[in-house]
Amino acid sequence: MAGRADLFLLLLALASPALVAVAASKDVNALQASALAYREGALERFRQDLLELASKPSISSSSAPEHQQGILAAAEWLRLKLESVGLVGVEVLPTEGPHPVVYASWDGAGPLAPTILVYGHYDVQPVDPLGLWESPPFEPSVRDGHFHGRGVDDDKGGLLGAVHAVESYLKGSEGAAPVNLKFLLEGQEEIGSPNLAPFLAKHKRGLLSGVDLALSADGSQISEDQGGVNTGFRGAVALQVDLRTAHTDIHSGSRGGSIENAAHALVQLLATLRDPKTKRILVEGFYDGVVEPTDEDRADMEKYPFDHDAEMALGIMGFTGEEGRTTLERRWHRPTLEIVGLGSGFQGDGIKTIVPSASSAKLASRLVPGQRPADVVEKIKAHLEKHKPPLTNLSVSVLGFRADPWTSPRDTPGNLAAASVLRELMGREPLHFREGATVPALAYFSEHLGVPATVFAFSLGDRIHAPNERLKVSMFDKSSQAWIRLLAELGRGGRAAFSGAGGGGHSEL
């Protein structure tokens, strides 16, 4: 229910939106100044927060008790944090899986201000191979100007930038902020957000109603001094392929050469998936409907500062991929189908003379606009059935990792605000870029909440998902400042900027 003053502003807004915008932006400038001042004094404590949160072993794909507890410990840490910064209605809400959502809200900015949903995730990737870590993954530390530890970047460092900006407003400006807020921090992103869609559907008309824009703190930045607005992520599906040729492994001397070998059969089957020369995926209909890059997309790829040295530092020996496409095009605009895991036969030291009776592979596909997960799964299954080697039993199952591709026009209110902040912060014109990776939540926000999304993240993708994950301290510091400026920019635009912007994510393209 709007108060008397709000009602007055509302009437004024109808009569003269420009007047209200001027009044609002004066207030917002003052709020932003207090928040920035508060942040200066709190930076050291903000860094400590990241070290604390990153010490929780919240590996979502693991069923080990210490990781399940790590999930709950990270969620509880965030609950206390969000409460202490002054958000209200803070709750650890169950999903249909074992990993809860940490939710919070604040609506003190009034009905003329937009309501922003901040999205991030507190779960992390597994840490193996453990032996390759220079320091234990869940004993985070700062050295060489970087935070080191699992999750310091993806996404604990990312989400804390937003939390700290909100703290700076609510603590630094006597409990005021330029926008209304909701936080949705999930614990399942690294396993493909399997329970997020039902969670959104369930809370759409309740806790999550009235949202104008979702901001994802999960994503990345181009470099420390070149800002970029992300306009697309690929989608994904994953499959498990199992072949059996007998009930048990069989002596390779007595029977070898006269019976089928499950390892050979699998290699033969997998080889049918891709043309060895053109690297095109041979699954029938795989490229159907795939949207070609526009001239604008091509210009974005040309302007993108491709870091050749960083690529070579990975130890790769060159680039390859679908014939007739550039490297960035292959990453941003073309789908993949890759073998991501493979197993059969004896893997121990030395030799064991058997004919393997079982083999398995995990396949993952990154999808681009024009492709739908369910359709691609059916096509891959049909291909595997069709090419199944004789004398084998094949079973194909769908794994949980599944998401629609997501793209966003560059001129949504959220993207324009992000661009303006990045321009100011980095002193140069931001670029537009896409990512080959996947954040399932983005397409869900448009599909289930009818809400557009903007990615606002400060990761440089440094060894994320790999041993020795790290995040530059200076990037982490920059993120809270950037979030303060972004929330102010969105507050200045007011809620009116979002009218008609509902569901701007074009996941159906």
Ligand X SMILES: *[C@@H]1O[C@H](CO)[C@@H](O)[C@H](O)[C@H]1NC(C)=O
Contacting positions for ligand X (CB under 6 A): 244, 246-247, 393
Minimal distance, residue 353 CB to ligand X, in Å: 20
Nearest to ligand X of 29, 393 (CB atom)? 393
Nearest to ligand X of 244, 298 (CB atom)? 244
* Nearest to 430, CA basis, from 351, 491, 486: 486
Minimal distance, residue 360 CB to ligand X, in Å: 13
Nearest to ligand X of 16, 393 (CB atom)? 393
| Structure-block tokens of residue 35 | 């928040």
Nearest to ligand X of 242, 375 (CB atom)? 242
Nearest to ligand X of 91, 260 (CB atom)? 260
Length of the chain in terms of residues written: 509
Minimal distance, residue 299 CB to ligand X, in Å: 54
* Distance of alpha carbon 473 from alpha carbon 482, whole angstroms: 14
Nearest to ligand X of 186, 249 (CB atom)? 249
| Structure-block tokens of residue 355 | 């004919």
**What values do phi and psi take at 294, rounded to 5?**
-85, 175
Minimal distance, residue 246 CB to ligand X, in Å: 5
Tell me the three state secondary structure of residue 91.
Answer: strand
Minimal distance, residue 392 CB to ligand X, in Å: 8
Nearest to ligand X of 209, 393 (CB atom)? 393
Minimal distance, residue 344 CB to ligand X, in Å: 14
* Distance of alpha carbon 457 from alpha carbon 16, whole angstroms: 35
Minimal distance, residue 155 CB to ligand X, in Å: 42
Nearest to ligand X of 249, 489 (CB atom)? 249
* Nearest to 431, CA basis, from 170, 135, 220: 220
18 CB burial (10 A radius; 0-12, 13-18, 19+):
exposed
- What is the 3 state secondary structure string of 211-275? CCEEEECCCCCCCCCCCEEEEEECEEEEEEEEEECCCCCEECCCCCCCCCCHHHHHHHHHHCCEC
At which residue do the structure tokens 């614990």 appear?
A: 187
Cβ(454)–Cβ(216) below 8 Å: yes
* Nearest to 294, CA basis, from 369, 221, 366: 369
* Nearest to 232, CA basis, from 293, 279, 165: 293
Minimal distance, residue 268 CB to ligand X, in Å: 18
Minimal distance, residue 393 CB to ligand X, in Å: 4
Cβ(400)–Cβ(247) below 8 Å: no
Nearest to ligand X of 221, 261 (CB atom)? 261
- Residue with the shortest CB distance to ligand X: 393
Nearest to ligand X of 55, 392 (CB atom)? 392
Minimal distance, residue 358 CB to ligand X, in Å: 8
Nearest to ligand X of 143, 255 (CB atom)? 255
Cβ(434)–Cβ(333) below 8 Å: yes
Encode 262-279: b = buried (16+ Cβ within 10 Å), e = exposed: bbbbbeebbeebbeeeee
At which residue do the structure tokens 């893997």 appear?
A: 347
* Nearest to 476, CA basis, from 161, 56, 142: 161
Minimal distance, residue 247 CB to ligand X, in Å: 5
